[in-house]
Amino acid sequence: MKFTYLSYEKLLNSIIKNNYIFSDYKDNVEKAVILRHDVDYSLEKTIRIAEIEKKNNVNSTFFIMLTCDFYNIFSLSGRNVVDKLLSLGHDIGLHFDEMRYPEIIGKPKEIIDKIVLEASILSKVIGKEVTKVSMHRPSKEIIEANLTIPQIVNTYSYKYFSEYKYISDSRRRWREPILDIINGRQYEKIQILIHPFWYNDEELSLEDTIRMYVNSANRERYRNLIDNFTNLFEVMRDKDVMGV
């Protein structure tokens, strides 16, 4: 499967064709596919994926971080993306980065408290209850802790790895052939993790995806500075921005 929007749409169509039902974590249906997106680096990249899903009547959950260095859901542009995802009928979950809190590593109770705190903040920001958490680059310890969190589904709890076949495109690589797994129909329940970051109109290699992301940051910073620095062009011209 290619990392293109067209291939992604074809994947959704294969899932539908094989009679799987797109479901949420708490649903208990036969032939369920739970579609989950972790947003690690770019909020903007979620939109095309969300639109393709809407076009095909598919619902999914986008897991968003409060604490990352790459995007900000408190900013207007961040809020606009979240509003857009919700308006397309998708749900928002919390993407939790335990490394943000070095002082509580290995302390399950404190970790649960932080997840509950972040989920309540995220709920207020998006205006909708956040009831799911996924872990960003989880340590072995946090997975083995099998955390039970009040009012919040832990997508890394044993249940979703024992009852469900788990497939992920982490680091832009499917560990197993996803289309064969879908078309083979050997699993009753499947949890699929898709990172919108890897998908484009034309397929890009891992290296090019990362290179373009890094090298476009100067332009993004310049654009943001226009709104925050009067007459920026007198100090620095658009043509002096380096990168893509």
Q: Which residue is nearest to Zn ion (CB)?
A: 136
The CA angle 77-198-85, to the nearest 5 degrees, is 35
Min separation Cβ 41 and Zn ion, Å = 9
Distant-in-sequence, close-in-space partners of 110: CB < 8 Å, separation ≥ 6: 101, 103, 104
Q: Using the rule CB under 5 A, give the single segment among 32-40, 108-116, 199-207, 223-231 that binds Zn ion.
A: 32-40
Which CB sits closer to Zn ion, 8 or 62? 62
Q: Report in angstroms how near the CB of residue 63 gets to Zn ion at its nearest.
A: 8
* CA-closest candidate to residue 18, choices 145, 179, 164, 172: 179
Q: How many residues bind Zn ion (CB under 5 A)?
A: 3
Q: Which residue has the tokens 């890394």?
A: 156
Stretch near Zn ion under the rule CB under 5 A, chosen from 34-42, 113-121, 171-179, 218-226? 34-42
Q: In terms of C-beta density within 10 A (0-12 exposed, 13-18 middle, 19 or more buried), how is residue 107 classed?
A: middle
Residues in region 220-239 near Zn ion by CB under 5 A: none
Asked if residue 38 binds Zn ion (CB under 5 A), the reply is yes
Distance from C-alpha of 111 to C-alpha of 117, rounded to nearest angstrom? 10
Instruction: Identify which of residues 133 and 181 has a Cβ nearer to Zn ion in the complex.
Output: 133
List the beta bridge partners of residue 193. 36, 168
Give the nearest distance from C-beta 95 to Zn ion in angstroms.
6
* Binding map of Zn ion across residues 40-79, x = CB under 5 A, - = no contact: x---------------------------------------
Q: Does 136 bind Zn ion (CB under 5 A)?
A: yes
Q: Residue 192: in which H helix or E strand, if any?
A: strand 189-194
Q: Quick one: 38 or 118, whose CB is closer to Zn ion?
A: 38
Minimum separation from the CB atom of position 5 to Zn ion (A) = 21
Shortest distance, CB of residue 39 to Zn ion, whole angstroms?
A: 8
Q: Supply angle C-alpha 78, 123, 53, rounded to 5.
A: 60
> CA-to-CA distance for 98 and 113, rounded, in angstroms?
12
For binding to Zn ion (CB under 5 A), which residues are involved? 38, 40, 136
